[in-house]
Amino acid sequence: MNKYKLRVAAAAIVCLAIAAVFVFGRPKGYLVLSNGNTGEEYARYRLDQGETFSITFIHSVNKSPVTDCYDVAEDGGIWLRRTIYYDFGAGVPFDLNEGESLEYAEDGAMVITGIDREIPDFLIFVGTVSDHTLRIGGEEISLRDLCGRSAKVRIRYEERWI
């Protein structure tokens, strides 16, 4: 094959690759909830890098709401960015780490920001007495209704070419 035909073939391949990117774009991101024991998928929710979600539950000791707020970084990792709570109790932060700050909201909530902790995937145990609520894309989802009481739920981020 002469140099001219090689250049034409190479240009055609480059054009096809560029067209594929425009047609298919980039992979779509999803927050995936699955059974922590069996891997069975409960649900997946569209979530792109930079977008946020939160999980709220009632603390078992102090009986007040706790909300953990997350986002998806450019590398596709889930990051805990802040937590909101109303009372102290076992497992609730009372000491700040470097870079974190504590603020008080108008409703009396304590808000810790600057947490910036990567959590590639994590497990939560859905309450038997009180529910866990996922907030994502303007929706509120009861994890008790979706997964069942006492469910061990694995939460992870995934990108797919769909």
- Residue 23 pLDDT grade (very low, low, confident, very high; cuts 50, 70, 90): low
What pLDDT, on the 0 to 100 scale, is given for residue 88? 74
DSSP E strand stretches across 59-148:
65-72, 78-85, 101-104, 110-118, 121-125, 132-136, 139-142
pLDDT tens, position by position, 34-90: 999 999 999 999 999 999 999 999 887 778 899 999 999 888 889 999 999 987 767
**139 HSE (CA, 13 A, CB side):** 10
pLDDT tens, position by position, 107-135: 999 999 999 999 989 999 998 888 999 99
Token pair, residue 155, equals: 């939460």
Residues present in the chain in total: 162
Is it the case that residue 30 has pLDDT exceeding 90? yes
Helix (H) or strand (E) run with residue 111 in it: strand 110-118
